[in-house]
Amino acid sequence: MIAPVTAQVTKKLFTVDEYYRIYQAGVISDHDRVELIAGEIVYMSPVGTKHATCVDRLNHILMSQLIDRIQLRVQSSIQLPPNSQPQPDLALLKRKADFYISAHPTPADIYLLIEVADSSLAFDRNVKMPMYAAAGILEVWLVDIEAQCIEVYWLATGDRYGSSQIYRAGESISLQAFPDVQVPVVAVFPVEQK
């Protein structure tokens, strides 16, 4: 009789520096839609037209009200020590003269992160939200394209947000960092033309 063999499987988790070395070695390229999440290189979902339109609409709304008060980063990296470099759809950042050429923004630089979710809703809610809370991101919005609502999270404690609220058509959202700014939910979602 042969005794069963149990194999122990371990993952190789990468640091941000190792992630960059992999990129510089050509293993991943600019064309690969990947991000580093808790040490794992994760492929991102393709961007559909509704997703892209929501991002464009949010970009327009936020920049029209905050143009001289923030820097807006669209679908680009932020750095969450020690081993995550996600690419949220939008990041409202503190203004820097060098536009963050010296390093990607860190939690101390971030007013608000926005994730627009279609096929990535479960991943954004169950993986990214706890990661953002643990990093101390002050406010995060999860834009649910299918349900046509925006989940707003703030007051991070540990890997959770202590407060959240869901906003729907007919409601407007005030930003925690800029309470004078109003984002009407209905303006975020695309209306299909017939």
Q: Which domains does the chain have, with CATH numbers?
A: 46-187 (3.90.1570.10)
pLDDT of residue 30: 82
Say whether 135 sits in a helix, a strand or coil. helix
Does residue 1 register a pLDDT over 70?
Answer: no
Average pLDDT over residues 60-86: 95
Q: Are 109 and 173 in contact (CB under 8 A)?
A: no
CA dist., res. 49 & res. 5, Å (int): 49
- pLDDT given for residue 57 in this prediction: 97
124 pLDDT band, cuts 50/70/90, is very high
Per-residue pLDDT reduced to its tens digit, 136-189:
999 999 999 999 999 999 999 999 999 999 999 999 999 999 999 999 999 999
Residue with tokens 């029209």: 64
- Residue 151, amino acid: E
Distance of CA 86 to the CA centre of its chain: 6
Quick check: helix, strand or coil at residue 14? coil
**154 and 161 Cβ atoms separated by less than 8 Å:** yes
Q: Are 138 and 154 in contact (CB under 8 A)?
A: yes
**Mean pLDDT on 115-142:** 95
* Span 83-88, average pLDDT: 95
Find all residues with CB under 8 Å of 181, minimum gap 6, and list them: 62, 65, 66, 174, 175
Whether 192 has a pLDDT exceeding 90, the answer reads no
- Which pTM does this prediction carry? 0.90
pLDDT for 182: 96
For 37-62, the pLDDT digits (tens) are 999 999 888 888 999 999 999 999 99
Q: What is the percent of the chain where pLDDT is above 90?
A: 78
Peptide bond into 107 cis (omega under 30): no
